Amino acid sequence: MTTAKGDTTLLTVEHETVSYVAGPLLVAGQMTGVGYDELVEVVSDGRVRRGRVLALEGDRAVVQVLDGTTGLSLPGTRVRTRGEVARVAVGDDLVGRILDGSGTPMDGGPPLRAVEYRDVNGAPINPVARNHPSEFIETGVSAIDGLNTLVRGQKLPIFSGFGLPAAELAAQIASDAAVPAAAEDAFVVVFAAMGVTQREAAFFRSTFAGSAALERTVLFLNTAEDPAVERLLTPRAALTVAEHLAFDRGRHVLVVLTDITNYCEALRELSAAREEIPGRRGYPGYMYTDLASLFERAGRIRGRAGSVTQLMILSMPDDDITHPIPDLTGYITEGQIVLSRELDRRGISPPIDVLPSLSRLMNAGIGAGKTREDHRAVADQLYAALARGRDLRRLVSIVGEAALSETERRYLAFADSFEQTLVNQGATRRTIEQTLELAWTLLRDLPPDDLKRIDPALVERYAGPGATVDPPTA
């Protein structure tokens, strides 16, 4: 663990009265002078573990031990206080490095040359100082660019299910999102893996820390074998580094956090160990606030060049979007990209279900001068038509296709071709122009009079002369 610069030894005090150890927690007595939320060192048999103060009462402190409590004994354990909250090294030097879940290099490279050590908790951005995100990021993915547009400074999770290709999608976005940036070196990926398996870690390492990509990546790696409570520190350390790169160094930072579900499990584990009153499904009542303290660190600041964009991967337990983890996340983030198991089974790649997906900042990032004047209307029309086509699909499964009118059949066909062509793009990259053109191709197959969401002048302009003629109906 990186500790504060300068001489903190004067503040270092050792206490020898540990009275309780269980799970991730330890209770120490005679802890005078230690501050709430400060970092402590737990020393036992010559090994130093890191801990954080969770509560103070009189001279007793409840300490969360980040490196696990296995092997601790009451008489043999001492707690050392340093008068410091958890800090992490920040600086350009971190780019290209692989660090553990709390920011210590694990790539065998030289020690970090830190500009500064910063409190991992950061401080809330004053809403007055925020710059409203409005710069379009072309991800190359039609279902995102066309219908759920991402902008710089946004926080947008990918709601996935176990086994769905969320990591691949995140990697694709991370590699393509760099392209429209003004200068190549202005773009950095800060990647924080929390509780990932060895297999996932290998994928992320090869994607984000392969030879070329590593030059613009900071990788924080907390794997499934690492202590769960360290996971609570990992995203905070990563975001602290990202804020420095963005707001002090003017870089556009894409923070990828994965997997939020593992993070929340760690939160629940700690809460249970503290015997707190649980909220829904055993998750602590403060989970919303805790997640917000991470996600709200995305954004832009007036007068500063850089940005922090967050892309989080979240595996929905049981594919259930009402589960507390996706639910609370969706309440905080600026939309969500939802992956569908059904689409995945049908071989659609990426399996993005656009109906439950949303980008709340889309309106600010699209339109004339940004993407194209018809973008909003086209997206609205696609949504409306897809919703109708999906309803009909459900109906057909009950009453059969014969019961449909000609118009209804066209909507049914629309839903199919929407999924098969617009969404199902595989690894190809599409420009926003290509996405919108494709959208018009699909819309042309609907009755022109039904394009109620689009200004007739735009229909005229983009649907071409042929499309304004109503094809004969049966």
Partner 1 sequence: MTETRAPVRGQAADVGTVHAVSGPVVTARGLPAARLYNVVLVGHARLPGEVIRLDAGDAVVQVYEDTAGLAVGEPVADTGEQLQVELGPGLLGSIFDGIQRPLTTLARRADDPVGEPMIERGASAPSLDRSRAWLFEPDVAEGDEVSAGDVLGTVQETGALGHRVLVPPGVAGAVTRVARGQVRVDEPVVWIGAEPLTLLSRWPVRLRRPIARRLALDQPLVTGQRAIDSLFPIARGGAATIPGGFGTGKTVLEQSLAKWSHADVIVYVACGERGNELTEMLDEFPTLTDPRTGSPLLERTVIIANTSNMPVAAREASIYTGITIAEYFRDQGRDVAVLADSTSRWGEALREVSSRLEEMPAEEGYPAYLSTRLAEFYERAGAVACLGGGERTGSVSIVGAVSPAGGDFSEPITQHSLRLAGTFWGLDTNLARRRHFPAIDWNRSYTLYDLDAWFDDEVAPDWHAQRAWVLQLLQQESSLLEIVQLLGADSLAPAERVVLETGRLLREDFLQQSAFDDVDAYCALPKQHQMLRVVHAAHDAMAAAVARDVPVETLAAAPVLREPARMRSWPDAEVAGNADALVERIRHDLEEL
Ligand X SMILES: Nc1ncnc2c1ncn2[C@@H]1O[C@H](COP(=O)(O)OP(=O)(O)O)[C@@H](O)[C@H]1O
- Least separation in angstroms between CB 292 and ligand X: 14
Q: Are strands 187-196 and 116-119 parallel, antiparallel or unpaired?
A: unpaired
Give 308: exposed, middle or buried? Use CB within 10 Å, 0-12, 13-18, 19+.
buried
- Shortest distance in whole angstroms from residue 224 CB to partner 1: 28
Residues of this chain, 325-344, that bind partner 1 according to CB under 8 A = 327-328, 330-332, 334-336
For residues 114 and 361, which CB has a smaller minimum distance to ligand X in the complex?
361
- Cα gap 176→77, rounded to integer Å: 50
Q: How far is the CB of 288 from partner 1 (least distance, A)?
A: 6
Binding residue (CB under 8 A) for partner 1 from 288, 429, 431, 444: 288
Q: Which of residues 111-150 bind partner 1 (CB under 8 A)?
A: 119, 121-133
User: For ligand X, which is the closer residue by CB, 274 or 360?
Assistant: 360
Minimum Å gap between C-beta 454 and partner 1 is: 10
Among 193, 196, 301, 287, residue whose Cα is nearest residue 252: 301
| Whole-angstrom distance, CA of residue 218 vs CA of residue 230 | 18
Q: How far apart are CA 59 and CA 422, in angstroms?
A: 63
State the amino acid at position 209 in one-letter form. Answer: A
* Nearest to partner 1 of 127, 466 (CB atom): 127
Segment 340-359, which members bind ligand X (CB under 6 A)? 358
* 398 or 427: CB nearest partner 1: 398
Q: Where are the beta strands (DSSP E) in 334-458?
A: 335-339, 352-359
Cβ 418 to partner 1 shortest distance, Å: 14
Length of the chain as a residue count: 474
Query: Pattern 438-457, binding to ligand X, x per CB under 6 A?
Result: --------------------
The one segment of 7-15, 172-180, 198-206, 277-285 that binds partner 1 by CB under 8 A:
277-285
Residues 32-61 that bind partner 1 (CB under 8 A): 32-38, 54-59
Q: How far apart are CA 247 and CA 240, in angstroms?
A: 11
Q: Is 60 in the site for ligand X (CB under 6 A)?
A: no
- Give how far the C-alpha of residue 151 lies from the chain's centroid of Cα atoms, to the nearest Å: 14
Q: Residue from 60, 80, 130, 360 that binds ligand X (CB under 6 A)?
A: 360
- What does 7 interact with, of ligand X, partner 1, none (CB < 5 to 8 A by kind)? none
Per DSSP, the residues of 261-285 read HHHHHHHHHHHHHTTPPB-GGG-BT
Residues 205-234 binding partner 1 (CB under 8 A) are none
CB of 358 to ligand X, least distance (A): 6
Between CA 259 and CA 53 the distance in angstroms is 25
Q: How far is the CB of 360 from ligand X (least distance, A)?
A: 4
Residue of 41, 107, 168, 380 that binds partner 1 (CB under 8 A): 380
Beta partners for residue 255, in sequence order? 190, 310
- In angstroms, give the least distance from the CB of 419 to ligand X: 22
Query: For residues 359 and 404, what is the distance between their CA atoms, to the nearest angstrom?
Result: 33
- Cα(412)–Cα(415) distance, integer angstroms: 5
Write out the residues near ligand X by the rule CB under 6 A. Answer: 358, 360
